[in-house]
Amino acid sequence: MHDRLAYGDVVVQLEAAALAVGRLDTALSGHPLLPAWTFWSQLDTARRHAEVDGCRVDLYRLAAFLHGLPLRVGTTLSLAERGDDIAALAYAVELRSWTVRPDPGQQDLLDRGLTHLRQAGVGQPALIGAAPGLRDWIRQDGSRPPIRTALPLYLRERVTRQPLTPLTGSDALKPGEFDDAEMFTIRFLEAVTREAEDARGLLWTMEREWRAARTVVSRRFGSRSTSRLPQAIDVLAASPLLSVSALARALGCTVEGASGMLDEVAQLEIVAEVTGMTGRGARRLYALRRLIPIRAETTAARRRTKGGPRGRPRKVHHPLPNCRSSLRGRPPVLLTICRQRAG
């Protein structure tokens, strides 16, 4: 009877996981925001994996660290705590590298993990076969990054149209019993269901923000038929973080023109400069308002006051007078000093 109940739970969770994965895969197919979704889902997946492995990382701080921005450091943190923070960020970036650009050693382990999943899933539904493959790999090898990275690739071969990076079942790898195969399968399917639903929720959030920004621009500048601002909003929505020069290349305009467009939409409060820089800073990055918390994690100083002169202030020299003709009307003390210096 216990086995029947466990099997029934597996079937229920399998149906829920399959529906969630199918909805996510269908929503992403041909979606214009797929590049930006891919970037942020990869970054968030690396953050979740780091947390499962014992390294807690903030998503916006990780984004700032990945883009090479100077990070804000808490004044109450000790040197050891600051070192742990940087180590956790570096570990999350390393986990992301397994998906984005694996080195030869990582690629070899990734191929081994993919082969292991293929062998474990022979004759079974893709999600059911992935669970024992994940469980056996962890029990035998113990290395988590290769098998977690291989799982979306395995699902792409079996059921999805593209590799869905968030689908790794990582929550099933938290401390718990690995001996009960049925219970592990249920935990794995529950984790995949949550991951797929969260990933689709991220896509919805990005799409709502994109459409809201387009609406504001259309209402404000709808009469300007030659305006490129709607195209600029599209590029911003489909890009993770965008620099002025990148927008200029995407729209085929000058850097000054792209900078003017970004300043114009920033005044509408639908786009924000997230690096904390102003003026003509080369590292200025822009995004839609959802990503403005990145600015709180950086220490970028302002380059110059808006509207002030550019460059360094001119150094002005004020030498003491050295001729007698310039001593008329001077105070007595200054007259004495000048006469002594004149010899």
d(Cα 234, Cα 95) in Å, to the nearest integer? 30
- Among 56-60, 176-180, 294-298, top mean pLDDT goes to 56-60
Neighbours of 114 (CB within 10 A): 19
- Pairing relation of β-strands 285-288 and 242-243? antiparallel
d(Cα 297, Cα 71) in Å, to the nearest integer? 6
Is residue 31 very low, low, confident or very high in pLDDT (cuts 50, 70, 90)?
A: very high
Quick one: residue 225, left, alpha or beta (phi over 0 = left, psi -120 to 50 = alpha)?
A: alpha
For residue 103, pLDDT over 50 is answered with: yes
For CA atoms 97, 98, 99, 101, the dihedral sign is positive
Q: Answer for the pair 236, 317: CB distance below 8 angstroms, yes or no.
A: no
d(Cα 106, Cα 305) in Å, to the nearest integer? 47
Kindly state the average pLDDT of the residues 12-40.
Answer: 93
Within 141-241, residue ranges assigned H as helices are 144-158, 181-221, 229-238
List pLDDT tens digits, range 127-144. Answer: 999 999 998 898 886 788
The amino acid at 175: P
Tell me the two tokens of residue 124: 């079974």
CATH fold for the domain made of 204-297 = Arc Repressor Mutant, subunit A (1.10.10)
**Which residues pair with residue 272 across a beta bridge?**
287
Which residue bears the tokens 């997230």?
274
For residue 111, pLDDT over 70 is answered with: yes
- Among 39-43, 79-83, 291-295, top mean pLDDT goes to 39-43
**pLDDT score for 314:** 59
**Which residues pair with residue 298 across a beta bridge?**
71
d(Cα 286, Cα 277) in Å, to the nearest integer? 10
The side-by-side arrangement of strands in the sheet containing 271-273 is 242-243, 285-288, 271-273
Closest CA to 297 of 50, 91, 70, 56: 70
Neighbours of 213 (CB within 10 A): 23
Domain boundaries, the chain: 2-201, 204-297, 316-343
Tell me the two tokens of residue 298: 């950086």
Tell me the two tokens of residue 257: 């023109």
Tell me the two tokens of residue 72: 């804000």
d(Cα 117, Cα 9) in Å, to the nearest integer? 23
pTM for the structure as a whole: 0.79
Residue 33, helix vs strand vs coil: coil
Q: Answer for the pair 147, 137: CB distance below 8 angstroms, yes or no.
A: yes
List pLDDT tens digits, range 273-299. Answer: 887 655 545 568 888 888 888 888 887
d(Cα 147, Cα 76) in Å, to the nearest integer? 38
- Pairing relation of β-strands 242-243 and 271-273? unpaired
d(Cα 270, Cα 290) in Å, to the nearest integer? 9
Residue 162's contacts (CB-CB under 8 Å, 6 or more residues apart) are 25, 28, 29, 156
d(Cα 233, Cα 212) in Å, to the nearest integer? 10
